[in-house]
Amino acid sequence: MHLQSQRIFNQVLMNEHSFIKSIHRYLHPDVHSWKIHDTFTGGVPDAMYSGPAGVLFVEYKYIKQLPKRASTPLKHSLSALQLQWLNRMKVSAKAALIVGVGDTCIILVDDFSANICKTRYIEQAVARKDVARFIYSETHTTK
């Protein structure tokens, strides 16, 4: 299949689950990953990663497309419970919100409730392979 056709095909079929799997394909084998599926407690992050430098909790959000206007915030549907969990995890561990659109992502490690407009997304977007590098760095590099 032609590369451009494959990208369009992948974007049409992409959902949050396949978005996470597409990042996990790039993870270094030394990163211990746990795709968390908790049906009893709301807001629990999607994944936990660990290595010699610590633990990282990640909430993933995937949206189908960027808004048309540059100033329009992305609607990534982070719930109040998910926000509470990320902020709680940040006290004793590392935490991140990773929002993906198409083949790119933005990594947020500070203000998880901040609005992300299209312009900011485009300026800070990285490839999925770079997200895997970020996860490795957070769990394997002492700062």
Q: Convert the pLDDT of each residue in 31-59 to its tens digit.
A: 999 999 888 888 999 999 999 999 999 99
The neighbour count for residue 103, using CB atoms within 10 Å, is: 14
For 15-29, 46-60, 65-79, 91-105, which range has the lowest pLDDT when averaged over its residues? 65-79
pLDDT value, residue 5:
44
pLDDT(9) > 70: no
Triad 107, 110, 114: Cα angle to 5°: 85
Structure confidence at residue 76 (pLDDT): 83
Domain architecture of the chain: domains with CATH? 3-140 (3.40.1350.10)
The DSSP result for the chain, as a single string, is --HHHHHHHHHHH--HHHHHHHHHTTS-TTSEEEE---SSSTT--SEEEEETTEEEEEEEEEESS--SSTTSBP-----HHHHHHHHHHHHHSEEEEEEEETTEEEEESS-TTS--BHHHHHHH-EEHHHHHHHHHHHHH---
Whole-number pLDDT of residue 125: 97
pLDDT recorded at residue 120? 93
pLDDT in tens, 57-69: 999 999 999 999 9
Instruction: Output the pLDDT for position 2.
Output: 45
Categorize the per-residue pLDDT at 8 as very low, low, confident or very high, splitting at 50, 70 and 90: very low
pLDDT at 3 over 70: no
Structure-block tokens of residue 85 = 């969990």
Query: What's the pLDDT band for 143 if we cut at 50, 70, 90?
Result: low
Average the pLDDT over 127-133 and give the result: 97
Whether the Cβ atoms of residue 139 and residue 29 lie closer than 8 Å to each other: no
